[in-house]
């Protein structure tokens, strides 16, 4: 088990006037042996942060640390990533066994027989029979391919696993099976994990901590129970309101000026709080809250970190379940 830390991490794409900062000075910690759920809408920077962690996207600023030390540039890769699309994450020309064996670190096992035994062990770990090693990806379902992708990530003997939307491309009937597998692997292996998703029902099920990302920045972070039961940032409250369970009475109290507001351009994010152009408790509704337009909020909060000048009690929370009822 290891602790993964993002210190002031920034990722930029392009240059000059067309440059875009996809991740902006992110501070985030994945504690040793814990699952951190990273949530946010499409384009918030979640996957970019994940790709930066495993070296697929260069970092423009800041550091990514493992147990307080910079990630090694050579040798065993202590971070492994499971990608969103199980249909494109495996080489269709290779057998399942070959794909998994390729990821086993050199010297970890001895001889061809040792590699076969290790592949069989990893397949059984993800609830697949050892004889699947002879199959090609085309012979497997989407859920089975995603299990193979998990086995391949575990073959590298990582200290931290990063799972990027690993259930979003699967049928609903299969998602629960994969999520149960993730929980079982976390408990049995004690893995540290960054679990990226846009689905709050999923993150509620697997996470010890929750981080909420908006326009490249972490806007809320804390223990899962605390964030879900008492969300302090208005963006988190909007995500929770959108994820109400079926049959729950909808309460539409969003002011008209907020409902009509356009999402910010990620190439030109607004100054101050980036959420203020669509915030139901910000200057669009309360004219005296001009500080939101001018000053970026800190990560302080009443119970956990929330980057909002007016993070606090339920009085400002239209249409959101009260503390203790996260809508699950």
Whether residue 275 is contained in a domain is answered as yes
The region that residue 227 occupies, defined by phi over 0 for left and psi between -120 and 50 for alpha, beta otherwise, is alpha
pLDDT category of residue 324 using cuts at 50, 70 and 90: very low
pLDDT tens column, 16-70: 878 899 999 999 999 999 999 999 998 899 999 999 999 999 999 999 999 999 9
What's the token pair of residue 199? 């689905």
DSSP 3-state assignment of 22?
strand
Phi/psi for 252 (5° steps) reads -100, 90
What does the pLDDT read at residue 169? Answer: 78
- Within 10 A of 286 (CB to CB), how many other CB atoms are there? 14
Whether residue 29 is contained in a domain is answered as yes
Whether residue 222 is contained in a domain is answered as no
Shared domain for 24 and 170, answered yes or no, is yes
pLDDT tens column, 183-233: 999 988 888 999 999 888 888 889 999 999 999 999 999 999 999 999 999
CA dihedral for 299, 63, 206, 48, sign (positive or negative) = positive
Q: Give this prediction's pTM.
A: 0.87
Q: Which of 116, 136, 153 is the last residue of a domain?
A: 153
Shared domain for 294 and 171, answered yes or no, is no
Shared domain for 284 and 237, answered yes or no, is yes
Shared domain for 46 and 5, answered yes or no, is yes
Whether residue 225 is contained in a domain is answered as no
- Within 10 A of 105 (CB to CB), how many other CB atoms are there? 12
Shared domain for 289 and 193, answered yes or no, is no
What's the token pair of residue 198? 């846009």
Q: Which of 112, 133, 153 is the last residue of a domain?
A: 153
Number of folded domains that form the chain = 3
Shared domain for 309 and 254, answered yes or no, is yes
Q: What's the CA gap between 311 and 236, in Å, rounded?
A: 11
Instruction: Tell me the helix, strand and coil percentages in the chain, rounded to 5.
Output: 35, 20, 45
Q: With contact defined as beta carbons under 8 Å apart, do 264 and 217 qualify?
A: no
Whether residue 326 is contained in a domain is answered as no
Q: Which of 123, 153, 183 is the last residue of a domain?
A: 153
What's the token pair of residue 36? 């951190």
Range of the domain at 238: 230-316
Could you give the count of Cα atoms lying within 13 Å of 234 in the half-sphere of its Cβ? 23
Q: With contact defined as beta carbons under 8 Å apart, do 37 and 197 qualify?
A: yes
Shared domain for 175 and 283, answered yes or no, is no
Shared domain for 58 and 2, answered yes or no, is yes
**DSSP one-letter string for 174-234:** HHHHHHHHHHHHHHHH--EEEEEES-HHHHHHH-SEEEEEETTEEEEEEEHHHHHHS--SH
pLDDT category of residue 251 using cuts at 50, 70 and 90: very low
Nearest C-alpha neighbor of 219 from the set 235, 198, 196, 239: 235
Shared domain for 307 and 188, answered yes or no, is no
Shared domain for 163 and 31, answered yes or no, is yes
pLDDT tens column, 105-147: 888 888 999 999 999 999 999 999 999 999 999 999 989 999 9
Angle at 14 between CA 13 and CA 19, to 5 degrees: 90
Whether residue 223 is contained in a domain is answered as no
CA dihedral for 281, 282, 284, 289, sign (positive or negative) = positive
- Strand-pair partners of 192: 160
Q: Tell me the percentage of the chain whose pLDDT exceeds 90.
A: 60
Whether residue 134 is contained in a domain is answered as yes
What does the pLDDT read at residue 106? Answer: 85
Q: What's the CA gap between 74 and 10, in Å, rounded?
A: 22
Q: What's the CA gap between 47 and 28, in Å, rounded?
A: 14
What's the token pair of residue 122? 């990893």
Residues in the chain, how many?
328
pLDDT tens column, 273-296: 999 999 999 998 899 999 999 999
Shared domain for 122 and 253, answered yes or no, is no
Rg of the chain's alpha carbons, rounded to an integer? 21
Neighbour-count burial of 249, counting CB atoms closer than 10 A to its CB (0-12 exposed, 13-18 middle, 19+ buried):
exposed
Shared domain for 206 and 145, answered yes or no, is no
Whether residue 114 is contained in a domain is answered as yes
């Amino acid at each position: 088990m290891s602790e993964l830390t993002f210190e002031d991490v920034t990722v930029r794409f392009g240059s000059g006037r067309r440059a875009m900062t996809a991740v902006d000075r992110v501070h985030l910690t994945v504690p040793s042996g814990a699952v951190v759920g990273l949530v946010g809408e499409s384009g918030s920077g979640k996957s970019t942060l994940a790709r930066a962690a495993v070296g697929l996207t260069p970092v423009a600023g800041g550091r990514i640390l493992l147990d307080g030390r910079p990630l090694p540039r050579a040798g065993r890769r202590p971070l492994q990533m499971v990608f969103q699309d199980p249909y494109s994450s495996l080489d269709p020309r290779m057998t399942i066994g070959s794909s998994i064996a390729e990821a086993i670190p050199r010297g970890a096992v001895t001889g061809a027989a040792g590699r076969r035994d290790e592949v069989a062990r990893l397949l059984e770990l993800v609830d697949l029979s050892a004889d699947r090693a002879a199959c090609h990806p085309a012979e497997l379902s989407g859920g089975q391919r995603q299990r193979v992708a998990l086995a391949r990530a575990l073959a590298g003997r990582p200290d931290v696993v990063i799972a990027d939307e690993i259930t979003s491309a699967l049928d609903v009937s299969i998602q629960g099976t994969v999520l149960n597998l993730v929980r079982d692997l976390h408990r049995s292996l004690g893995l540290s994990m960054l679990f990226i998703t846009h689905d709050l029902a999923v993150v509620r099920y697997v996470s010890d901590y929750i981080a909420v990302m908006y326009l490249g920045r972490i806007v809320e972070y804390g223990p899962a129970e605390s964030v879900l039961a008492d969300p302090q940032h208005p963006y988190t409250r909007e995500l929770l309101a959108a994820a109400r369970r079926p049959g729950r009475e909808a309460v539409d109290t969003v002011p008209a000026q907020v409902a009509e507001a356009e999402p910010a351009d990620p190439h030109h994010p607004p100054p101050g709080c980036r959420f203020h152009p669509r915030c139901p408790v910000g200057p669009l509704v309360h004219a005296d809250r001009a500080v939101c337009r001018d000053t970026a909020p800190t990560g302080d909060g009443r119970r956990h970190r929330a980057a909002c000048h007016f993070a606090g009690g339920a009085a400002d929370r239209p249409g959101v379940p009260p503390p203790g009822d996260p809508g699950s």
